[in-house]
Structure 1
Amino acid sequence: MHVVFYRNLNLGHAGSPNREQLEGALKAGGAAQVKSFQTNGTVLFKAEDPEGVVAAAAGELVAVAGYADAAIVRPLADLEGLLALGVFEKHESPRTYRETVTFFQGGKKPSWSMPWTNSKDDVDVLHIGDGIALSLIRKPRNSAGSPTFELERATGGVATTRTRGSIDRLLKAAATWR
């Protein structure tokens, strides 16, 4: 089982497909089963060639909704293993606004020493694995820190972020869907 994380996709909003269009594009691309999760462009799917399915679906998403942003595919097992490391539990802080998981691809790997804190002191990157970063964000004023911004700036690639709560709910949903 795999998950595709679409960047800047909000189901039903201008420039984004609705749930039926998103799931239909992945099925037309060759996915055996598809389940859109929440409204943030996170989709569980089963396929022999997951990257090929997402690539094939890209043209359909442009045609039906004008959506043409990045899509990052990860095996579900990667997420389970990453959260099992207990990284967030080792860095609990009352200053934390959200625990986040950022998926990134392209460009170079960040050269930061872990944990790394940005200059605005609103993002702590705690762990970087193979295209996945675990971070804490703070919201010192009206806006929260952005690990997506920090990783895109450091790598020159693209990134998309979900909260740990979203990933936890995704894993629970996947367990009942298998």
Structure 2
Amino acid sequence: MTFTHAALYRAMNLGHRGSPVRDVLERALLEAGARAVRSFQTNGTVLLDVGSASDGDAAAVVRDAAPLLAERAGYGHAALVRSLDDVGAAIDGDPFAVTRDERTYRETLTFVDGGEPLPLDLPWTDPRDLLDLVAARPGVVLGVVRGGPGTWADPNSLVERLTGGVATTRTLGTVRRLLAAAARA
């Protein structure tokens, strides 16, 4: 099996109220036409094999699974679909090195669909010095979060507010593990 795409669900926490359990999520995607599915983490990150399908076909699988997830688990948030090639390209060349320092808490990728281009010159630092937006690449904004639990900034809500699009954020560690898992499959 060859995983070709990732579905990145927004506000999903498997097994919690308003989110499906892993089996329900995977079954819905298979019933919607995926050839193989692997829910990667509890945060709604899913590897998809849609055969030789294009990005549009992978998006159609995720879109067709949405009513099943709503019916079976009450889940109604958005899901963003990316080819694994695009996910890997987003982190080529260590783009976080520009602002990474001893205060770095998380390096993030905020995937965004729709809306307007990010209206900031990058790199950009928020006034509280808790978030750097490092780079914007097609469909993704890279950020460095400073501080720790309870004191950090939220790149997801900032990107949504600035662009008007729908976004979901993953850490660099999650993205690297996702790509490694896909390569092993």
Q: TM-score, normalised by structure 1?
A: 0.95
Task: Report the Cα distance in structure 1 between the residues aligned to 2:80 and 2:148, rounded to whole angstroms.
Answer: 30
Task: Report the Cα distance in structure 2 between the residues aligned to 1:161 and 1:125, rounded to whole angstroms.
Answer: 13
Give the % identical residues: 45
Return the letter of the residue paired with 2:67.
G
Contact 1:122–1:140 (CA under 8 A) maintained in structure 2:
no
Task: Report the Cα distance in structure 1 between the residues aligned to 2:29 and 2:12, rounded to whole angstroms.
Answer: 15
Return the letter of the residue paired with 1:130.
P
How many corresponding residue pairs?
A: 177
What corresponds to 2:123 in structure 1? 115
Task: Report the Cα distance in structure 2 between the residues aligned to 1:127 and 1:161, rounded to whole angstroms.
Answer: 14
* 1:94-143 deviation digits (Å, cap 9, x = unpaired): 11111111101121111210101123321100010111011000126733
* SS, match of residue 104 in structure 1: strand
How far the C-alpha of 1:158 sits from its partner, in A, is 1.3
How far the C-alpha of 1:92 sits from its partner, in A, is 2.1
* SS, match of residue 88 in structure 2: helix
User: Can you give the 5+ residue segments of structure 1 that lack an aligned partner in the other structure?
Assistant: none
The 5 A counterparts of 1:1-178 are: 1-47=4-50, 48=53, 49-139=57-147, 142-177=150-185
* SS, match of residue 91 in structure 2: helix
* SS, match of residue 8 in structure 1: coil
Task: Report the Cα distance in structure 2 between the residues aligned to 1:141 and 1:174, rounded to whole angstroms.
Answer: 30
User: Can you give the 5+ residue segments of structure 2 that lack an aligned partner in the other structure?
Assistant: none
Say which is worse superposed, 78-87 or 44-53, in terms of deviation.
78-87
How far the C-alpha of 1:85 sits from its partner, in A, is 2.3
Please, what is the CA RMSD of the aligned residues?
A: 1.2
